[in-house]
Homo-oligomer: A and B are copies of this chain.
C-alpha cells in the first residue's frame, strides 16, 4: 500500500484539504494561504486543539476516520461554547513517512464529514514529517454576530446553571477501558478492539462512545443563541467540576449544584460501582465530554427548554450561581452543602 513517502508532501496536502470549494472560500488550498470571506457585521471566532498519538489516542483505540471525527469534535465544541457558526479549518499534521495513504485518507474523510455536518470545510493545511509519535492539530474558525459571542465571563448571582448531556461519561469510559486494557496487559498498541474487550459487557458502550466519539453541541448552541438567554458558557473538556470552576472564576461568582436535579445516569453509577469509586467522582472529575455548561437568565428557562426539545438535546437545570466567589457546592436533598473539588486534568501533571 502506498505511503506518504511514495505520494509526497504536496499531493498528500492536496488530498488532506480537498473539498473546500464554496462561495466563502475565495482562494482554497494550493496557494500560499487561504482567502476567506467574512460577513460584515460578524466577528471571527478562532480556536486550536490537537490530538497526539499515545496521549490522546492510541492507534488501536480509534480508527483513522474516528480520529478525524474526534479532532473535529474537540474543536467544534470550543466554537459551540462561543455560539459561533463553524466555517473554516486549517489542518497541521505531523506524520511519519511510512504512514499509509489509505489511513490518511480515512482520517481526512472522518474529519471532513464531521466538520461538514456543522458547516465547516478544511481550507488549508500543512504536513510535516516526524520520526516518532504523530500529531494532528486543527485550527477552526467560525463566525458570530458582532459582539454576540458567549464567553465564560457573564454569569451573575441568581443565574441558572444548565447542563447538556451527562458529563462524567467520557471519563468513566476511559477508566473502564484502560482498566480492562491494563488487566489484559495491553497498552492498546497491539491492535484488537479494546471496546469489545473493555466491555466484556457490551452495556458499557455508551460510556466508551462518550469518550471515543464525542459530538459537539454546535446545533444546540446555534439554535439557542438567538434566545438571548445565555449569560456565559464553557464546554466540558476537562471535567464538570473543573470547567464549572473556570466559568465561575471568569465570572467572579460561585455555584450551588443541586444534587436532586443532576440528570439520572444509572449506567454511570454502575460503572462507579464496578470501578469501586463514588459516582460523584466520575460525574465531577476529569472527563472530556464536550458537553456545554451554561449560565441562563432565570426568566428565559422556558425558551431554553423549548430549544432543547426542538434540537433533541438533553438539557438539565442543575443549580444556581451565587455571589460566593469561587465556591462550588453540592447541595443534597436535605439541604446539606458539601464543597465540590474543582480538580481537572493537567496534561503535564502525570497521566490519568
Contacts and interface: CB of A to CB of B under 8 A. Distances in A.
Interface of A: 4-5, 7-10, 12, 26-27, 30-38, 40-50, 52, 54-56, 77-79, 81-82, 84, 88, 90-92, 94, 97, 123-133, 135, 137, 139, 141-142, 144, 146-147, 149, 151-153, 233-235, 250, 346-350
Given A151-B27, A346-B8, A349-B8, A130 B55 contact: yes
A152 to B, nearest CB: 5
Nearest to A79: B33
Q: Which of A50, A81, A88, A131 has the most chain B CB atoms closer than 10 A to its own CB?
A: A50
Contact of A250 (B30, B48, B135): B30
A80 to B, nearest CB: 8
A91 B48 contact: yes
Contacts of A147: 26
The count of identical subunits is 2
A175 to B, nearest CB: 19
Contact of A52 (B41, B128, B149): B128
Contacts of A152: 30-32
A31 B303 CA distance: 25
A135 B93 CA distance: 10
Given A90-B48, A129-B55, A349-B5, A33 B139 contact: no
Contacts of A41: 40
B348 A129 contact: yes
